[in-house]
Amino acid sequence: MKMLIIGASGQIGFNLCQALAGSHQVTGTYFSYPMPDMYSLDMTKSGTVTDFITALKPDVIFLPAALPDVEACEKKPELCRRVNIDGTRNVLAAAGEIKAKVVFFSTDYLFDGAAGPYAETEPSNPLNMYGKAKNEAEQLIRQSTCPHLIIRTSVVYGYEKQGKNFVVRLNERLRQGEKVKVPNDQFSTPTYVNNLCAIIKELVESGKEGIYNIAGPELLNRYDFAVLAAEIFELDRSLITPVATGELGQQALRPLRGGLKVDKVRSVAVTPLMNVREGLIDMKKQWSGIAAVKTIPALVR
């Protein structure tokens, strides 16, 4: 199939490229972080988005592109809406013109965190700007006439070139001997990016539509996740201090008991969900060979 990944320079988009490029014709785009063999695309520019998509005519458009920085969204709500909602609307309009399928990426931040983990059918009630914008963007996708698949996920970690995710940052700070405060009252279902992308590939190849949660199978708090990561990466766990979320001085409210239930995806996917220990061990293996970062095979330009 001909596939377009908008936001292929990000954590999930880059790993999706790697997962799909061996068996599909894949084109990737970046926004501010240029990557070899990818095109520049700003999804907030509707004319450019339409021109690009209607010229390429992909069968499937993956849309991991977003402004997922929760604090940035709270501080800059207009930018948050422009990228996360208007950008999604632009891509949907162009996809409609060529009748492409849209694969959208969503989050457990749709929920208020009163009683996670959450199933696909539970009502949303986002607490912060990021969650509200993703919720609204999801509604656009669900109401559109384009065939669509919505992937909801939670605290994604793994190797990534831009090094933005929690485990990569924790690694860097602990290696420098820095003390790190991590909340022990924020629960989620951490998800290993390679495992996530392998399952997305399966769902897309088998023509699935609708909403699927794809997340790790364990609910754990951020502090326990950090301590496990320190153990696997052989770093000094005594540098990690557990704190309450309220002590971090963050502007955006966090859903405290978040995370996603995974019964639905387990009932259809052959690839097993990796638990956090398995994911971290695989990430370490990948990272140790990272001096020679894998190039993406057969990426179309």
Ligand X SMILES: NC(=O)c1ccc[n+]([C@@H]2O[C@H](COP(=O)([O-])OP(=O)(O)OC[C@H]3O[C@@H](n4cnc5c(N)ncnc54)[C@H](OP(=O)(O)O)[C@@H]3O)[C@@H](O)[C@H]2O)c1
Which residues would be at the binding site for ligand X (CB under 6 A)? 6-7, 9-13, 30-33, 41-44, 64-68, 83, 87, 105, 107, 134, 153-156, 164
Contact (Cβ atoms closer than 8 angstroms) between residue 3 and residue 20 = yes
Q: Which CB sits closer to ligand X, 75 or 179?
A: 75
- Minimum distance, C-beta of residue 287 to ligand X, in the bound complex (Å): 17
- Minimum distance, C-beta of residue 193 to ligand X, in the bound complex (Å): 8
Q: Which residues contact 35 (CB under 8 A, 6 or more apart)?
A: 8, 9, 14, 28, 161
Q: Which CB sits closer to ligand X, 157 or 233?
A: 157
What's the CA gap between 66 and 211, in Å, rounded? 18
Instruction: Report residue 31 CA to chain centroid gap.
Output: 16
Q: What DSSP assignment string belongs to 242-256?
A: EE-GGGG--SS---S
- Minimum distance, C-beta of residue 94 to ligand X, in the bound complex (Å): 13
Q: Which CB sits closer to ligand X, 137 or 234?
A: 137
Q: How many CB atoms lie within 10 A of CB 81?
A: 18
**Residue owning tokens 């993703």:** 134
Q: Which CB sits closer to ligand X, 86 or 202?
A: 86
Q: Fill in the DSSP letter of residue 109.
A: G
What's the CA gap between 291 and 255, in Å, rounded? 37
- Minimum distance, C-beta of residue 123 to ligand X, in the bound complex (Å): 18
- Minimum distance, C-beta of residue 242 to ligand X, in the bound complex (Å): 21
- Minimum distance, C-beta of residue 11 to ligand X, in the bound complex (Å): 4
**How far lies 12's CA from each of 49, 63, 151, 162, 232, in Å?**
20, 10, 12, 11, 22
What's the CA gap between 110 and 73, in Å, rounded? 14
Q: Which CB sits closer to ligand X, 65 or 269?
A: 65
Q: Which CB sits closer to ligand X, 49 or 146?
A: 49
Q: Residue of minimal CB distance from ligand X? A: 10
